[in-house]
Amino acid sequence: MDLESHPTTLQEENRKKVHELLKSTHSRIEKLIQKTYQQKDSAATSQLRQLRTRITGLVSEAEKKELDSFGSHEGNIDDFYENEERFVETSRMLLQEVENALATGESIDVFTISDLVDKIEMGFSHRIELTSKNLSEYENRIVSKKQAQREERERQEKELREQDQKEAEEKAPAEDKIEMSETSETFPSETKTNPADDIEDETSARYDIQAPAKKSELDTETLSKLYRYINTLEQKFEKQHPEVSYNGEYIADKQWKVELSKRSVRGSIKEGRFKTPMLIVDNYWKSIDDKREIIEMIQAKANTIEQNQYMSLCFINSSWDQSIKDWARTYSHQRLGFFLYDLVEDDLIYNETDENNRKFAFWHSSNGTRTKLTEIVDQLIEEEEYFDLGEVMEYSGLNLTGAKKFIDGLVKKKVLIDVGLGTPKYTRSK
């Protein structure tokens, strides 16, 4: 695999390549339809029109940036590069097959074209998600590769110096040999520090990582607190389900997927044909001390999130610099909630004035409570006996559509009844 291409850059470039290839294929499919129509091959014409519709959908999907920020399939960094190569190559093969069909005078092999479209659709839904784990794997390999390159370059330079020195000694008088021997002991390159140290410093500054051996070396107390926190979140994610989305929709009826690793836990709700995430709640270990770096990182992440998506993100660390905590308490974005969790203080830091932050803080807290929608309904009945959708919206954060969907579900289950009273009002079924 080409390690010089960073995964996030490669994924974006490949999306654009596939988009252009699919647009070219679409225009040639149009010509192919005209060809089969003129040949009076009605079956092929009908099949090609169906393929054109599918390709139109793929062109639309390839325009969406969420393919670069939200994956739908798990895998390591090798899987990622293999899938990306196959994703682009299949698109090229489809275009080539359609062009061949245009060039030949024989009957059109619609089956082969359809099979390639199937593979491209599979490629869309199986792009590897770029997690912190496989990005770290990539970064560690970059460290190793650059270290090997630096060591090889140093070795070659040393061999050249030794060869030059040997040739000079053979030509120089005896007294010059002594002088050269003394000088050769103080070549600048011989007094340099280990080149691996330079590579590690350079790569750490760029990616905020350490060498692999150091990356996992947390002290026992910190590791214990981290695992305790991750385990607490895991139980919370497994036993409970978000009910209200960032925009007030009712989402308790959608599939909630939980993913776990040693230093992270994630919950997500995906929808649509290509299982695009509408909500991601992410918690993972991230040790950063530089305020500027974390600001740039969060802004870059926010720029990848589309209008119909929301991410609630929490970075975990043993402790956080005060300036970073102060900044986090002021950060607000309509599609990205940002939290810091301090293991030592058992403290969750975020902008508490942001409505969505308050809504999702429960999923990042080591304790915390969440009032369920059914509990809100019970409270409304206890206080007033009858309630309407407006009151449900006021106390739950649901929008009108979400509140109606939730209440209609309880009516269908015969938990509530609609008693009318002019404006529709509800109460508990007898």
pLDDT of residue 65: 64
- Which parts of the chain sit beneath pLDDT 50? 1, 68-71, 174-216
pLDDT of residue 178: 41
**Token code pair at residue 51:** 């393929």
Provide the 10 A C-beta neighbour count for residue 164: 11
Q: What is the pLDDT of residues 413-428, one digit of tens each?
A: 898 988 876 678 888 8
Residue 277 β-bridge partners: 270
Query: At CA 18, angle to CA 15 and CA 24, rounded to 5?
Result: 145
Could you give the CA distance from residue 395 to residue 378 in angstroms, rounded to a whole number? 12
Query: What's this model's pTM, rounded to 2 decimal places?
Result: 0.51
Which helix (DSSP H) or strand (DSSP E) does residue 216 occupy? Answer: none
Provide the 10 A C-beta neighbour count for residue 101: 23
CATH architecture of 373-428: Orthogonal Bundle (1.10)
CATH architecture of 221-238+250-353: 3-Layer(aba) Sandwich (3.40)
Could you give the CA distance from residue 154 to residue 243 in angstroms, rounded to a whole number? 59
Q: How far is CA 80 from CA 2, 76, 92, in A?
A: 12, 6, 19
Could you give the CA distance from residue 135 to residue 102 in angstroms, rounded to a whole number? 42
Provide the 10 A C-beta neighbour count for residue 73: 13
DSSP H helical ranges for 104-239: 110-125, 132-171, 174-184, 195-207, 212-215, 220-239
pLDDT of residue 422: 67
Query: At CA 208, angle to CA 236 and CA 216, rounded to 5?
Result: 60
* φ and ψ at residue 73, rounded to 5 degrees: -140, 145
Residue indicated by tokens 């199986």: 126
* φ and ψ at residue 266, rounded to 5 degrees: -135, 140
pLDDT of residue 190: 36
pLDDT of residue 206: 35
pLDDT of residue 144: 75
